[in-house]
Structure 1
Amino acid sequence: MSKLTWKKTAALVMAVTMLTTAAAGCGNNASSSASSEESSTSSTVESSESSAEESSAASATEEETDEMAAKNVADLIDAIYVQERNDNTDEECKAAKEAWDALTDAQKELVEGDNADPDYFGRDTGDAAKDDPRNEDEIGENELLVVSFGTSFNDSRVKDIKGIEDALQEAYPDWSVRRAFTAQIIINHVQARDDEKIDNMQQALDRAVANGVKNLVVQPTHLMHGAEYDEMNELLDRYKDKFEGIAVAEPLLGEVGDDATVINADMEAVAKAITAEAVKTAGYDDVAAAAEDGTAFVFMGHGTAHVAKVSYSQMQTTME
C-alpha cells in the first residue's frame, strides 16, 4: 500500500471513530436529559398532590373547628335553658354570652342544640335599657309585687309588663312596686343576652324579707288559673310567717268553679268570643255545624292543661 493510500485510509477510520464517539455521546446526553425531565415532572405532580392534600386537610380542620366552637356555645345555652336557678347560674349566663361573642358570623349560624339556635343571642327584640327590672332594695314596709310569667322580647316587656307595673306605681304611690318572673328560662335568657337581672319569685320574696316588708300584696298578670298561678301560691304559703299580711289577687278572668258547670261572667264572655272566632276561621256557620261535622275546638293556654277537664259536650253547652 502506498503512503498516500494509507493516509487516506487512516483518516477515514479516524473520522468514523470520531463520529461514532460523538453519536454515542449525544445519545447519552439525550437519555440523561429525558430522565431529568421525567424526574422534574414527577416531582411537580407529587408537589401538587401534596399541596392539594394539605389544603384539604386545612379546610377539614377549619370546618371541624367551626363546628366545635358552635357546639360549645350550644351546650352553654342548653345549660341555662332550665327552670331551676342554681349557685352557678350567673357565671353560666356570662360564659354563654362571652363564648357567643367570640364566634365568627359563620360559626354563629352553626349553633344548634336541644334548645339553642342562632336567635337565642342573635335576634334583635328591642332595647333592654328601656326596661326596669324593679329589683331595688329600700322597699319600705309596703310592697306590691307584680308576678308575671315573663318574656325575653324587650319591646314587648317594656310595653306590656313594665306598662302594668308603671300604672300600678302611679295608682299606689305609697307602695313600692317590685317585679318577679316565674319562668327561670326567661330570666336566664334576658340576663345572658342583655345583662338585665330580674328576680324570680324566691329572690323577690327573700328581698322583701331582707328589706323588712310587713305588708305584701301580690298582683299576678296571669290571664287565668293555671300551673303558674298555683305554683306561685304554693311558694307564698312557705313565706306566710315572714310578713304581717299577704294578699293575693285573682287572675284577670277571676276564680275557677268547683267543676265545669261553674263559669263566671268574664270567662264566659271570653270563651264565647274566642270560640266564635275559631268557628269563623274554620269556615263553619256556628258551633252546631262544627259539631255535626265532628269538629271540636280545644283552647289550651300555657300552664292550663290541668284545669282543662271538660268534655266537648259540656263546652258546646256553655258556648251556645
Structure 2
Amino acid sequence: MKKRTVAVLLSCVLAIGMFTGCGNKSTNDTKQTNAEEDQKAADEVAKLIDDIYVQERTDETDDQCVAAKEAWDKLTDAQKELVEGENADPDYFGRDTGDASKDDPLNEDGIGEKELLVVSFGTSFNDSRTADIGGIEKALQEANPDWSVRRAFTAQIIINHVQARDGEKIDNVDQALQRAVDNGVKELVVQPTHLMHGAEYDELVDTLADYEDKFDKVSVSEPLLGEVGEDAMVVNEDKEKVAEAITAEAVKTAGYDSLDAAKEDKVAFVFMGHGTSHTAKVSYSQMATQMKDLGYENVFIGTVEGEPEETACENVIESVKEAGYTKVILRPLMVVAGDHANNDMAGDDEDSWKSQFEASGAFDSVDTQIFGLGEIPEIQQIYVEHTKNAMESLGETSSASASGTQSVPEDGVYSAKFDTDSSMFHAYETLDGRGTLTVKDGKMTFHVSLQSEKILNLFVGKAKDAKKDGADVLEPTKDTVTDPEGKEETVNGFDIPVKKLDEEFDLALIGTKGKWYDHKVSITDVQPQ
C-alpha cells in the first residue's frame, strides 16, 4: 500500500513538472514576442525620425513630420526608450527643452514694402530659441518700428525637428524670401545672426542671389564678429565689443565683482565655439588675440570641432593648466545655448568638455554657464548697429538724400560721411566716420583719414582690375590725427575721386599682406564746412 502511494505521488509530481515546464516555455515565448513587437514599433518610429532628419525640404516634409509625431505618441514609455536610428533617439521627441508656445516664428504675411529678415542657423531648444534668437529679433524690431521683422532658419533639420515635435512652423531661407516676394516687399535687409563669415553665411548669400532681382533694394548686414581679417592678429571693433560683453556677463553670472577678482581666485573662463574648416576659422584665433589685447589673461577660446587646432579641448585644457588656474567656468561662444552647449559642453558623457576638464585632474572645480550670446543686451545692440549700417547703404537714413542735396554741390569744401561695408575699413575713430569733400570746377574729391597705416593703396573699381598693369592706384597721404586720449598719431589718408553722392561705388584696397579686397563705399550726409 505504501509503495503504491509513493508511486502515485511520483506520477503526480512528474505531471506537475511537465505542466510547469510547458508553462515556462509559453511565458518565455510570449515575452520574446512582446519584446520583438516593442522593438519593431520603436524601429518604425526611428525610421520616421531619420526620414525628417535631413537638410532638404520636400513636398512630403509636412506629412512626414505629422506621421513621425503620431507614431511616437502611440508608443509606450518602454518602447520610446528603444528608439534608436542613424540620427534618431528618445530625446528627439522626449527631451523637455521648454515651452514652444512662448516662441514667435515670425512667419506672418502682411509684411508691407520694407522687410528686415533675420536669418539664424536655428535651435530645437525652445527656451534658447525664445531668449536668444527671439531676443535679437525683438531688439531689431524695437529699433526699426517702420520695418517688418521676419525669421528664417538655415538648418532644415532643426526646422523639421521643431515642426514635428511642437507643431511650430519656421520658414527656411527660400520660404522666407518667397514670402517676401509674394507680399510685395520692395526693400529687403537681411541680418544674419551667424557668428562669422563662414559656410552658413556664404550659403545665405548664394541663396539670396537667386531672389535679388525681385526687390528694388537688397542689403545683407554683417554677422556678429564683422569682417574676418587677414590673420590671427587682426581684430576689429565688433570683436572688441563682443569680447567685453561676453566676459562681463560671465563674470557677473559667476558672482564676481570683476574679472580681476575672479583671476585672484584662480578662475579661468573658457568660451566654447563651434569651430569650422572654413577659412573664417581664423575668427576664433582673432577672438583669442582680442582677449589678450584687452588684458583678459584668464579668458580662453575653444571650439567643439577643434579648428583651428589650438582651440581643441585638450589644447585648451593644457593652456589653462599651464597658466596656473585651478577653477574653470565653461560658457558657449554661440548665439544659442542649444545641443552643443547642453551636450558637447555641459553633458555627462565622457567626451563632453566638462567631463574632459574634470578627467584631467588638474582643476578643483569645473562649472558651466548654459546661456547663448543672443540674450545679452550688448550683443543684441551690435546686431542693431549692423542693421542700421545696412539700411543706410539703401539710403534709408541718409541726411543728404533726405534734404535733397544735389548730386554735385557748388564749388567749396564740405564735411561728409564715409559709409563702408566693413567695420575694419573706416575713417579714424575720433573723426565720427567723416572726411572732407572738396568740389572744384564741378569735380568732387573726398579725403578720408583711415584707422591706421595698414591699408597701403586704394583703387576705384574692382580688385581684379586693380591688379592690372597701368591701374590708377591711389597713393596714401600721411595724416596726423588725435586719438581718444589726446595723443597725435600718423595714419594713411586718401584722396578719392567721387562721381555721385549717396550712391554706392566699388573701392578696392590692398593691405600689408599684399592682397586686394573688394569693398563698397558711399559718400553721404554732405554738410557745409
The answer, yes or no, to whether TM exceeds 0.5 is yes
What do you get for the CA RMSD once the two structures are aligned? 3.6
Say which structure, 1 or 2, has more relative contact order (CA 8 Å, 6+ apart).
1
Is the aligned partner of 1:238 residue 2:210?
Answer: yes
Aligned residue identity for 2:191: Q
1:156 to 109, 125, 128: 128
Equivalent position SS for 2:67: helix
Unaligned runs of 5+ residues in structure 1 are: 1-25, 286-296
Asked if the contact 2:192/2:222 (under 8 Å) is kept, the reply is: yes
Residue 36 of structure 1, CA deviation:
6.0
Question: Separation in 2 of the partners of 1:148 and 1:316?
Answer: 26
Is the aligned partner of 1:306 residue 2:279?
Answer: yes
Alignment of 1:112-127 (within 5 A): 112-127=84-99
Question: Separation in 1 of the partners of 2:124 and 2:290?
Answer: 39
Asked if the contact 2:123/2:129 (under 8 Å) is kept, the reply is: yes
Asked if the contact 2:243/2:290 (under 8 Å) is kept, the reply is: no
Aligned residue identity for 2:216: E
Q: Which has the higher strand share?
A: 2
Q: Name the residue aligned to 2:29.
A: 57
Q: Name the residue aligned to 2:503.
A: none
What do the CA deviations read for 1:111-169 (whole angstroms, capped 9, x no partner)?
A: 22222221111111111111111111121111110111111111111112112222222
Is the aligned partner of 1:108 residue 2:80?
Answer: yes
Q: Which moved more, 1:82-91 or 1:231-240?
A: 82-91
Question: Separation in 1 of the partners of 2:283 and 2:139?
Answer: 36
Aligned residue identity for 1:301: H
Q: Which moved more, 1:33-42 or 1:160-169?
A: 33-42
Residue 252 of structure 1, CA deviation:
1.6
Question: Separation in 1 of the partners of 2:100 and 2:154?
Answer: 19
Aligned residue identity for 2:215: F
Question: Separation in 2 of the partners of 1:169 and 1:212?
Answer: 20
Question: Separation in 2 of the partners of 1:311 and 1:164?
Answer: 22
Q: CA 1:125–1:95 in 2, change beyond 3 Å: closer, same or farther?
A: same
TM-score by length of 1: 0.75
Q: CA 1:188–1:302 in 2, change beyond 3 Å: closer, same or farther?
A: farther
Equivalent position SS for 1:100: helix
Is the aligned partner of 1:229 residue 2:211?
Answer: no
Residue 52 of structure 1, CA deviation:
0.6
**Structure number with bigger Rg:** 1
Residue 272 of structure 1, CA deviation:
9.5
Aligned residue identity for 1:71: D
Q: Name the residue aligned to 2:155.
A: 183
Question: Separation in 2 of the partners of 1:165 and 1:94?
Answer: 28
**Number of corresponding residues:** 283
Unaligned runs of 5+ residues in structure 2 are: 251-259, 294-529
Q: Name the residue aligned to 1:167.
A: 139
Equivalent position SS for 2:115: strand
Residue 81 of structure 1, CA deviation:
1.4
Asked if the contact 1:272/1:319 (under 8 Å) is kept, the reply is: no
Asked if the contact 2:235/2:289 (under 8 Å) is kept, the reply is: no
Question: Separation in 1 of the partners of 2:242 and 2:114?
Answer: 34
Residue 301 of structure 1, CA deviation:
2.8
Aligned residue identity for 1:135: N
Is the aligned partner of 1:83 residue 2:52?
Answer: no
Residue 43 of structure 1, CA deviation:
3.0
Question: Separation in 1 of the partners of 2:158 and 2:109?
Answer: 22
Percent identity, aligned pairs only?
Answer: 61
Is the aligned partner of 1:70 residue 2:42?
Answer: yes
TM-score by length of 2: 0.47
Q: Which moved more, 1:159-168 or 1:195-204?
A: 159-168
Question: Separation in 2 of the partners of 1:165 and 1:234?
Answer: 23
